[in-house]
């Protein structure tokens, strides 16, 4: 309750999920029908397991930051976000829009997560269960100095409202991410532009095989129709775009032993 509320200039939608190749193929087929052609490109990105945030820049300066919340209203976390080294307080270069909302994921890399838990154990405190919980807890601290010491990072994955001078961004999602990168905003180095369903599925298998080697937690791959005009043509459902889908990884499984059961009335 200590955080003030921010109404997003544009709703932050969620994503529909796919769990196998058949569902992905079905997604591509329906999307091709909606946009009226088969030769469509996709931008593939690892699905980071962190906390979605919105960053609002005006004349190149970071003015406010908010959590996703319920998609319509989020929490004002501006002071905490400004302590994250990966997030620029001002955009670099020139020709960026007068007002631009940059959306992305705040996450905790494994090295910072392990360091945090080692410190907690040393002080006889309960360690965090996973990097996502650690990132969410760190970002919602009342003392921004605590957030600053947690080693959080950030990757942008899209834009929201863009207005004013230079508001005409590149006509494709991938190219827009490259624009953000040029303005000093970090973008995941694993993103890739592909031109077929087979290439999308191949990207998924490649990232899945390298999942344990990545320095951050992911739980799938996000596939987005690359052409912005085609995105608008494909449209949205109530809470998700029709032009994007998250292909989730299978649940990680481990064997465990049940040690005891206690019954209580």
Catalytic site residue from 47, 126, 192, 233: 47
Place of tokens 């997604």: 27
First to last CA, the chain: 36
Residues 6+ apart with CB under 8 A from 31: 40, 225, 234, 242, 243
DSSP 213: G
Sign of CA dihedral 215, 218, 220, 226: negative
* Whether residue 145 lies in the annotated active site: no
**φ/ψ of residue 212, rounded to 5:** -70, -15
Q: Give the strand pairing for 61-67 and 51-58.
A: antiparallel
Active-site annotation, residues? 47
């Amino acid at each position: 309750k200590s955080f003030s509320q921010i109404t997003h200039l544009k709703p932050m939608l969620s994503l529909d999920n796919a769990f196998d190749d058949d569902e992905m193929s079905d997604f591509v087929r329906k999307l091709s029908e909606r946009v009226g052609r088969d030769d469509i490109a996709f931008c593939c990105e690892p699905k980071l397991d962190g906390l979605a945030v919105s960053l609002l820049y005006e004349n190149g300066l970071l003015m406010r930051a908010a959590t996703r919340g319920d998609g319509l209203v989020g929490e004002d976390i501006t002071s905490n976000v400004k302590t994250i080294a990966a997030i620029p307080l001002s955009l670099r270069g020139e020709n960026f829009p007068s007002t631009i909302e940059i959306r992305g994921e705040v996450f905790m890399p494994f090295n910072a997560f392990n360091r945090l838990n080692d410190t907690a154990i040393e002080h006889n405190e309960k360690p965090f269960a996973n990097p996502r919980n650690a990132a969410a807890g760190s970002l919602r601290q009342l003392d921004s100095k605590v957030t600053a010491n947690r080693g959080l990072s950030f990757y942008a994955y899209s834009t929201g409202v863009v207005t004013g001078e230079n508001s005409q961004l590149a006509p494709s999602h991938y190219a827009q991410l490259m624009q953000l990168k040029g303005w000093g905003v970090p973008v995941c180095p694993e993103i890739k532009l592909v031109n077929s369903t087979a290439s999308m599925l191949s990207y998924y298998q490649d990232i899945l095989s390298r999942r344990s080697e990545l320095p951050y937690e992911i739980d799938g791959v996000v596939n987005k129709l690359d052409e912005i005009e085609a995105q608008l043509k494909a449209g949205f459902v109530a809470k998700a775009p029709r032009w994007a889908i998250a292909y989730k990884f299978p649940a990680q499984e481990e064997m465990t032993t049940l040690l005891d059961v206690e019954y209580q009335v």
